Structure 1
Amino acid sequence: MTSACRSAFFDADETVITAKSMFAFLRHWMAQNGDSGSGYDRVMADIRTLAADNVDRSEINRTYYRLFKGVPQRELVAAGRDWYDRYRNGPGAFVGATLDALDRHRAAGDLICLVSGSFRAVLEPLAEEIAAETILCTEPVVGEDGLLTGEVHQPMIGAAKTAAVAGVIAAHRLSPADCYGYGDHLSDLGLLEQVGNPHVVDVDPELVALAKERGWPVLPAAPAALRQRD
């Protein structure tokens, strides 16, 4: 268990990285498996329809992972690392203001946690890059045969994020008032309300408006390249 006195919780997509990792990875995965792009477009159209019909984000999250039913976990892990290795070198792959915040938290010796509806196969290499000790994410169910069942243990969305953050704070006996949070979407509100120092990346107008009402710092979403750490 870490000896850190405080923790910094970061949503991943459009908070640390500028992409939506689940969908960026899906395009990569489908292309590696022979899709010319039309299959990906159909999947995304279906997901946009669900969102337009106000289907709960947790159910949309579950729908996404059903696309991988029958896939060997080891293949998904390898593909996730391959996707990230390609993604990380993009000139605008990361949110610059968040990279600055990560530098400050690392220098302070804070426990860094990623909290995301995305999954470990794509988040683990990112966590290694930014020195995040803990990953709180959606975990696909893997059968005894090593194949994904298409289901997940729990979508790490909304209330699940809130509970997961509270659990880490309690487990490490941290003071919530001393902890930090970073998010970009209204679904991150519960996460942000668990800490004494919430920060909002300027992506979602609803969350930004709420942040301004509450006097929370709003960080620019300007993209930046990854910086080399000493």
Structure 2
Amino acid sequence: MDGAVMGVKGEASTRVAVFDLDGTISHRDLFLVFLRQAMRRLGPARKLRTALLPLHTLRFGLRAITNAELKAAFLDAILGGRQRSTLVALATDFAARSLEREMKPAALQAMQRHRQAGDALVLASASLDLYVEPIASQLGFDAVVSTRVAWTTDDRLAGSLDGSNLRGAPKLAAVRAMLAERFPLAKSFVAYSDHESDIPLLAAASSAFAVDPTAALARAARERGWPIVDWRGAGSLPAAAIQSGLVVPG
């Protein structure tokens, strides 16, 4: 199966809630936030390739390269060749900081409502397993699917992806495979996302919610009758409250 799949509880459930990460439960896309933190702490690994990143971004804007190719270019330029142990430590720290600074309180409250209803929680993200998995673990998700990074035989980041970039149809395929494996009794799922790339996932859900949607997703939501919800409210919750399950439902 393409993409990383992590399980926590390993139990079947008849009800599952699937949450996107970037822009849905977090205030912003965490990929560049993570890379900026890595550069501040480690410095760019390959300066020439880092200098070429604006060109890659322009080519992506012109549709000359794919999102997966752009993601791999940033990954290779900034983290390529780094030791796994160094990056795991960095990602673990980033996940803890993200809980305090990046999560939307309304999203955490929605997650808690699903927990209280007995639903299993799944985090489905096109972001990197390197930091998505510790975020999912610290937030108490039951399972997660995310884009895998590739490693060399000597445990260094290869600067490429291992399998599909879980964006669009590949994310839906990864979610379906994970549900069949981990939650075989689940007949349907609820899905939350902010981005039009998740229209396949939302369309496959029994109930779909457009969360603080992009303009394209907002149009699709109105056409398909999906509720549009606002989770953008300012404010924060302490990590201790999140991890101990003391988030008060809204």
Q: TM-score, normalised by structure 2?
A: 0.81
Contact 2:16 2:122 in 1 (8 A): yes
Contact 2:82 2:156 in 1 (8 A): yes
Q: TM-score, normalised by structure 1?
A: 0.87
Of residues 92, 114, 133 in structure 2, which corresponds to 1:81? 92
Identify if the C-alpha distance between structure 1 residues 137 and 44 changes in structure 2 by more than 3 Å, giving closer, same or farther: same
Give a deviation string over 1:179-221, Cα, whole Å, max 9, x none. 1111111111111122101111123011011111211111114
- Asked if 1:72 is matched to 2:83, the reply is yes
- Asked if 1:25 is matched to 2:25, the reply is no
Contact 1:200 1:216 in 2 (8 A): yes
- RMSD over aligned Cα atoms: 2.4
Q: Distance in 2 between matches of 1:50 and 1:66?
A: 17
Q: Distance in 2 between matches of 1:69 and 1:98?
A: 33
% identical equivalent positions: 28
Q: Distance in 1 between matches of 2:213 and 2:96?
A: 25
Q: Residues 91-170 of structure 1: matches in 2 within 5 Å?
A: 93-153=102-162, 154-170=164-180
Of residues 215, 218, 228 in structure 2, which corresponds to 1:218? 228
Corresponding residue for 2:198?
188
Which piece of structure 1 moves more, 60-69 or 71-80? 60-69
> Aligned-pair distance for 1:170?
2.3
Identify if the C-alpha distance between structure 1 residues 170 and 130 changes in structure 2 by more than 3 Å, giving closer, same or farther: same
Q: What is the identity, as a one-letter code, of the residue corresponding to 2:98? A: Y
Q: Distance in 2 between matches of 1:213 and 1:176?
A: 25
> Aligned-pair distance for 1:84?
2.5
Contact 1:11 1:183 in 2 (8 A): yes
Unpaired segments of 5 or more residues in structure 1?
A: none
- Asked if 1:6 is matched to 2:15, the reply is yes
Q: Distance in 2 between matches of 1:183 and 1:88?
A: 19
Give a deviation string over 1:76-106, Cα, whole Å, max 9, x none. 111112223233323xx22233222101111
Unpaired segments of 5 or more residues in structure 2?
A: 1-9
Q: What is the identity, as a one-letter code, of the residue corresponding to 2:236? A: A
Contact 2:22 2:29 in 1 (8 A): yes
Q: Distance in 2 between matches of 1:42 and 1:194?
A: 41
Q: What is the identity, as a one-letter code, of the residue corresponding to 1:130? A: L
